[in-house]
Structure 1
Amino acid sequence: QDIEVVTVNPHLVKRNKENRDNTQSKSDKKDALVIADMVKNGYYAFVRDTSESFEKLRVLMSNRDVIVKRLVSSINQLNRWVDIVFPELRQVFKDITAKGAIATLRLFPSPMELGSMKPEEIVAGWKLLMKRQPGLKKAYLLLNVARKSVGTRQALEAYKFHLEQLLEEYDLAIQQLERVELAIKDELPKIPFANKLLMIKGISEISLAGILGEAGDLSGFSHGNSLLRHAGLHLAEASSGKWKGQIIISKRGRSRLRRFLYLATMSLVMNNPEFKALHSNNVKVKKMKKMKSIMKLIGKLARIFVGIARKNEAYCAKKVQPLTELAA
């Protein structure tokens, strides 16, 4: 009906509720009055419309987060099960989620079952579940640690039943994670400037999908600082007179967007030569703390992303190099 819709931050409503009557009282009528007063004074934000592709990425990445939490939970429970029943298994397989460890848990999880087996039988069992399986050396080591195991020997049937359910949950989470990541990778090419952003060495499809899903169309931001403010990565300072408070990150924005910007920047610092040089220059020449340098590079990444999206230009490595290298 041609009525413009805006949003008011609930946190600001809570902060402004005492401006009306100088009390901490709260009611529906008072909330409505405070919200109307904030809109009248311009303390609101416009609703940013996004296309269907960005909305799909946001939903898919939210789904991925739920699956990853379930996967991590199942892995933690598998580790707990191993601690109780067969703690020596880590002497053979350092990672419980390795293919050899998972295959061992499926075939012969308890040390009691391994006591009456031969190394050849163990290797034959591994061949049924793995294309490239460990050899006889691993099988001998597994038998030796199983004979000296200090794991529990009570209620083994119940523990085996519990393990079957844990492995089912683990398999389901792995399958769902593969499916949702495949759907994310199929959706990314539909965004015009996504391919240009993926040309930056160190930017993965998942991290880019997380940023685009939460931020929406980057070409709609006027500057990289607007993206930082949207994520809650802009700076906040509390000072009065001669007293200078600590400058902190406001964190008034999308937490998932902050996380993916941070992870993308960490990947660039490890894999991208330009960002690696910038980080080294910040730490060694400018004597910055490492985390402060990372936060500064997040701002650099935000400006690069918004610039590429707005101008539809390819990534230029020479523009990112530190001034010391350009002068040389």
Structure 2
Amino acid sequence: EAAKNSIGLTEGTQMAQHEIATLLRQYRLLETEIETVNNQLAEMAQTTIEYEILASVPGLGDATIVDLLSEVGCFALYENPRQLIKLAGLTLRESSSGQHKGQKHISKRGRKKLRNTLFKVIVPLIRHNEAFKQLHEYYTTRQQNPLRGKQSMVILCGKLLKVLHGICKKKVFFNEQHMMKDLYCLVEAA
């Protein structure tokens, strides 16, 4: 009984309810507009030949392909896959000064959204794509210089960009067996 009389606003509640209802309507309107734009982007991306090629990679969904194409554009326009790695900010950088030799870490000078998209897609690829799963196991369990989980994922993001560039440049569909055959580190470990 004492709390009812002492806590809370007693004046202006009607306007507060009206303001909340207005904000909710605006939020729902923005949600529908974003969904419309995403659908239009998906339709535009599906008209490109690169969409079909990227869709052949197990683990890449429609939303991921749209995000990749919107950040990178046409993969085949890049001369070298290293340009894509630099665009994503996945190049290694070392903090050194004089005699001090620091640790290497990614530069993060590229596109943040592209980097985020790559990290989001690499986790399902490690789970569902046998070639990337074996590469991750190799990098984390090798005898010399084993990598930690995140370090391996950064390397695999770069590898994914190289693979996507290669299949888009050559206009061929992804072949997991062909990729595994070309990975000399996995052939030596077997």
Q: Same fold (TM over 0.5)?
A: yes
CA distance in 1, matches of 2:29, 2:154: 37
Distance 1:160 1:255, change over 3 A: same
Partner letter of residue 194 of structure 1? Y
User: By how many angstroms is 1:241 displaced?
Assistant: 5.4
- Match of residue 94 from structure 2: 237
Relative distance call for 1:168 and 1:224 in structure 2 (3 A) is: same
- The residue type equivalent to 2:159 in the other structure is K
Tell me: higher relative CO, structure 1 or 2? Use CA pairs within 8 A at least 6 residues apart: 2
Check if 1:311 corresponds to 2:170.
yes
Cα deviation per residue 1:71-107 (whole Å; 9 max; x = unaligned)?
A: xxxxxxxxxxxxxxxxxxxxxxxxxxxxxxxxxxxxx
CA separation in 1, counterparts of 2:141 and 2:31? 42
Residue of structure 2 aligned with 1:291, choices 111, 127, 150: 150
Q: What is the rounded CA distance, in whole Å, between the counterparts of 1:267 and 1:180 in structure 2?
A: 26
1:314 Cα offset (Å): 0.8
Matched, 1:175 2:32: yes
TM-score of the aligned structures, taking structure 1 as reference length:
0.48
Of 267-276 and 212-221, deviating more is: 267-276
Counterpart amino acid of residue 302 in structure 1: L
Correspondent of 1:165 among 2, 22, 28 = 22
**Partner residue, 1:220:** 77
Per-residue deviation, residues 141-164 of structure 1 (Å, max 9, x unmatched)? xxxxxxxxxx95745433422331
| 1:79-98 aligned within 5 A | none
Per the alignment, residue 3 of structure 2 pairs with none
1:316-327 correspondence runs (5 A): 316-321=175-180, 323-324=185-186
- Across the aligned residues of Structure 1 and Structure 2, the Cα RMSD in angstroms comes to 2.7
SS of the residue aligned with 1:253? coil
Task: Report the CA distance shift for 1:326/1:190 in structure 2 as closer, same or farther (over 3 A).
Answer: farther
Per the alignment, do residues 160 and 231 of structure 1 end up closer, same or farther by CA in structure 2, a change over 3 Å counting? same
Distance 1:239 1:153, change over 3 A: closer
Q: Do the aligned residues in 2 keep the contact of 1:274 with 1:317 (CA within 8 Å)?
A: yes
Amino acid at match of 2:121: A
Q: Superposed, which structure 2 residues align to 1:47-126 within 5 Å?
A: none
Q: Which amino acid aligns with 1:316?
A: N
> Higher Cα Rg: structure 1 or 2?
1
Give 1:256's match in structure 2, choosing from 91, 100, 113.
113
Letter in 1 for 2:104: I
CA change 1:156–1:285 in 2 (3 A) is farther
Q: Counterpart of 2:158 in 1: which secondary structure? A: helix
Aligned residue pair count: 178
Change (3 A) 1:184 1:281: same
Corresponding residue for residue 4 of structure 2: none
Specify the alignment match of 2:59 in structure 1: 202
After superposition, the C-alpha distances for 1:25-51 in whole angstroms (9 at most, x for unaligned) are xxxxxxxxxxxxxxxxxxxxxxxxxxx
1:285 Cα shift?
4.5
Contact conserved, 1:184 with 1:206, CA < 8 A, in 2?
A: no
Inter-partner Cα distance in structure 1 for 2:35 and 2:88: 28
Query: Is 1:275–1:320's contact at 8 Å kept on the other side of the alignment?
Result: no
- Aligned partners of 2:45 and 2:69 also within 8 Å: no
User: How far is 1:289 from its partner?
Assistant: 1.4
Aligned to 2:125: 268
Identity %: 27
Contact map agreement 2:135 2:186 (CA 8 A) in 1 = no
Are the aligned partners of 2:50 and 2:74 in contact in 1 as well (CA < 8 Å)? no
How many Å separate the matches in 2 of 1:283 and 1:201?
Answer: 22
- Distance in 1 (CA, whole Å) between partners of 2:113 and 2:23 is 28
| Residue 187 of structure 1, CA deviation | 0.5
